[in-house]
């Protein structure tokens, strides 16, 4: 497996007027890993992901996927799958219909829709309208959308939000199966206990970067909990120093 970074943030800063959402953020996402982007609400997680995907332009710095800004990446919609608010579904149609619309936009055959429906466990409910879906079913549907083009990288913004314990357990197993196939997954979350059971690497943001490295190194191979280490790092005032693995 290549050691070249799948995604890279280089000194990325985003300001909205006088408010700084992210400041001088620098880290790499290694291939074949599940990487948890962690932080409190307002820590800059979603803003950072939006800059990576070209949905928000950084004030300074550069974010790239496969070595290029997203807007310049050939076949970007095939190589990168995304779940994020604002990249939405059409709630008035069925799951199958929505996926077929997306598949045709991507130049994919209808049989690919059936494959992803089966994979996320929605095949028997695919003709139900999305507006009648539970939160867990909606999360499975957007994951199916993200997987349509068989992407190398998945960027998932808070994929466990609103899930019950069964849904969270399913998601954990599902994400691991995707990583075992060689895909890279960058997910944001504030559910620390769940992330600890899911990810390989951790990036902690609190406007600035507080840690980037492996979960094992951060927790001293389980001697400390992720929650304990998160609060130690997130509570620091930020001196320009970043904890690395």
Q: Are strands 208-214 and 201-206 parallel, antiparallel or unpaired?
A: antiparallel
H or E stretch at 116? helix 110-119
pLDDT at position 240 is 47
Span 197-225, pLDDT tens digits: 999 999 999 999 999 999 999 999 999 99
Q: Is 48 exposed, middle or buried (0-12, 13-18, 19+ CB in 10 A)?
A: buried
Residue ranges of the chain whose pLDDT lies below 50: 1-2, 237, 239-241
Dist. CA 236–CA 7, nearest whole Å: 26
pLDDT at position 174 is 95
pLDDT at position 243 is 58
SS3 147: helix
SS3 212: strand
pLDDT at position 1 is 41
pLDDT at position 234 is 87
pLDDT at position 239 is 45
pLDDT at position 242 is 56
DSSP 107: T
Query: At a CB cut-off of 8 Å and minimum separation 6, what does 223 contact?
Result: none
pTM of the model: 0.92
């Amino acid at each position: 497996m290549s050691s070249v970074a799948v995604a890279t943030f280089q000194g990325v800063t985003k300001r909205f007027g006088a408010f700084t959402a992210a400041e001088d953020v620098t880290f790499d996402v290694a291939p074949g890993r599940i990487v948890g982007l962690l932080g409190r609400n307002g820590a800059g997680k979603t803003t950072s992901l939006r800059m990576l995907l070209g949905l928000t332009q950084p004030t300074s710095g550069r974010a790239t996927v496969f070595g290029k800004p997203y807007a310049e990446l050939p076949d970007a919609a095939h190589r990168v799958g995304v779940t994020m608010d604002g990249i939405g579904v059409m709630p008035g149609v069925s799951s199958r219909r929505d996926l077929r619309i997306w598949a045709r936009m991507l130049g994919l055959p209808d049989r690919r829709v059936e494959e992803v429906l089966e994979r996320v466990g929605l095949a028997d409910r695919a003709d139900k309208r999305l507006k009648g879906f539970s939160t867990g079913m909606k999360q499975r549907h957007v994951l199916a959308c993200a997987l349509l083009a068989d992407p190398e990288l998945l960027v998932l913004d808070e994929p466990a939000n609103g899930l019950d314990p069964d849904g969270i357990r399913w998601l954990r197993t599902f994400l691991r199966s995707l990583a075992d196939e060689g895909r890279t997954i960058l997910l944001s979350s504030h559910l620390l206990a769940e992330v600890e059971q899911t990810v390989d690497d951790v990036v902690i943001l609190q406007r600035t970067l507080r840690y980037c490295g492996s979960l094992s190194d951060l927790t001293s191979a389980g001697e400390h909990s992720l929650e304990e280490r998160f609060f130690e790092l997130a509570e620091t005032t930020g001196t320009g120093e970043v904890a690395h693995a």
